Amino acid sequence: QRVAEPLPLRVEVPALPARGGAELVRALFEPLGWAVTATPVPLDVRFPEWGDSRYVHLVLEAPDATLTLGEALRHLYVLLPVLDDAKHYWVSPDEVDKLLRAGEGWLAGHPEQDVITSRYLSRRRSLTRDARERLELVRLADADDTDVDDIDNAVDEDTDTEEKPVPLAVRRREAILAELADAGAGRVLDLGCGQGQLVQALLKDVRYTEIVGVDVSMRALTVASRRLGLDRMGERQAGRVQLMQGSLAYTDKRLKGYDAAVLSEVVEHLDEARLPALEYAVFGSARPRTVLVTTPNVEYNVRWESLPAGHARHGDHRFEWTRAEFAEWARRVGERHGYDVRFVPVGDDDPEVGPPTQMAVFTQETKAAGAGRAAEAAKKDQVA
């Protein structure tokens, strides 16, 4: 049990190979909460004029019990080989998985992530690129979910009433639940489930017989598990829910065959260049009957006095779409993958700037409609 307890720790490595010297040692360990003493080891104490070797005498200290032994060992597992910068065995793709397992909870946000991934993977470009893409997805998933649009009273309300407005996050979940009910869904995917708020709401309704929460972040899934009380849940209730790790940028056969999928406030956290991969993974490969996508309406941002002009609602948003931009994207996705799409405002629909959140409801086309579209496309090809 003590491996997971915060402990006063001291780690000493008398002769550590460190390509990059004491400066790099400090840059790697100090962001993780260590007090670092890295003393260069001379080539030969008898001949100081020869200068220092590439070794340092390293002492790491965390005397205030801010780190666990498990965290300390994961730091060493990754960073000692990084400092050595000379792997003595063939580096295969499974090294990426090892790196991400040992780096869980700290590597995605480390300021020297590029150096760490490159050196750990022996500068193999394809592996390094894969690791960085996966770490970026972890970072996005771990980002604080409290957007400006979730703050109560962000817009001045009628001060004559004591009734607080319903938070937008709650209204968004209510709108999602209403659409799922209308679709008659029983087996539902929450893609990018985060800390499990929507999964928790779905579990309260017996019509949902299978609920799967998917997220790239194990930390978020751990929080979701605690929120749901999975370890205390009865067998029948536990049989309705599953949390699993997965990336929405890759196809996953586990996600096929569901009635509905929800991507709530997910797409704006991805670089737009990564959206085609998500589109295919969800609409082309998994192909649930119904897909719900919510995202902020950037036009509404002017209604928040607390949001500086030109700023996104959240520091991690890679873009925020206007209603026209969202509609164009959604219709293009629907046409490409055989879904009809309609749009639902979430929150108060301002006559000038629209609602704070916009939702697209995708439903698979009927066979007749799909055949008609295919025939129309063939006709256009013949004309061309």
DSSP E strands in 177-235: the ranges are 187-191, 210-215
Residue 155 lies in a domain: no
> Stretch 276-281: mean pLDDT, rounded?
95
The pLDDT value given to residue 105: 85
pLDDT of 370 strictly over 80: no
One domain for residues 345 and 278: yes
Q: How far apart are the first and last CA of the chain?
A: 70
Co-location of 199 and 338 in the same domain: yes
**Residue 297 and residue 258 share a domain:** yes
Query: Taking 50 as the threshold, does the pLDDT of residue 81 lie above it?
Result: yes
Instruction: Tell me, yes or no, whether 287 lies in a domain.
Output: yes
3-state secondary structure of 185: coil
Instruction: Retrieve residue 307's tokens.
Output: 């949001």
CA-only gyration radius of the chain, Å: 25
For residues 367 and 222, the model is more confident at: 222
Query: pLDDT tens digits, residue range 177-222?
Result: 999 999 999 999 999 998 899 999 999 999 999 999 999 888 888 8
Q: Is the pLDDT of residue 309 over 80?
A: no
Q: What is the CATH number of the domain that holds 78?
A: 3.30.1610.20
Q: Are residues 115 and 189 in the same domain?
A: no
The verdict on 198 and 79 lying in the same domain is no
Mean pLDDT, to the nearest integer, of 353-365?
95
Cα–Cα distance, 301 to 148 (Å, whole number): 9
* pTM of the predicted structure, to 2 decimals: 0.60
Q: How many distinct structural domains can be found in the chain?
A: 2
Q: What are phi and psi of 207, to 5 degrees?
A: -65, -20
* DSSP conformation class of 85: T
100 with 42, same domain: the answer is yes
Q: Is residue 184 a contact partner of residue 215, using CB atoms and an 8 Å limit? A: no
246 and 120 housed in the same domain? no
Q: In 3-state terms, what secondary structure has residue 345?
A: strand
One domain, residues 131 and 269: no
> Under a CB-based contact definition with an 8 Å cutoff, are residues 114 and 132 in contact?
yes
Residue 39 pLDDT class (50, 70, 90 cuts): very high
In this structure, are residues 190 and 211 in contact, taking their beta carbons and an 8 Å threshold?
Answer: yes
Q: Based on the domain organization, do 103 and 40 belong to the same domain?
A: yes
- Asked if residue 200 and residue 119 are part of one domain, the reply reads no
Q: How far is CA 87 from the centre of its chain?
A: 30
**Domain containing residue 265:** 167-383
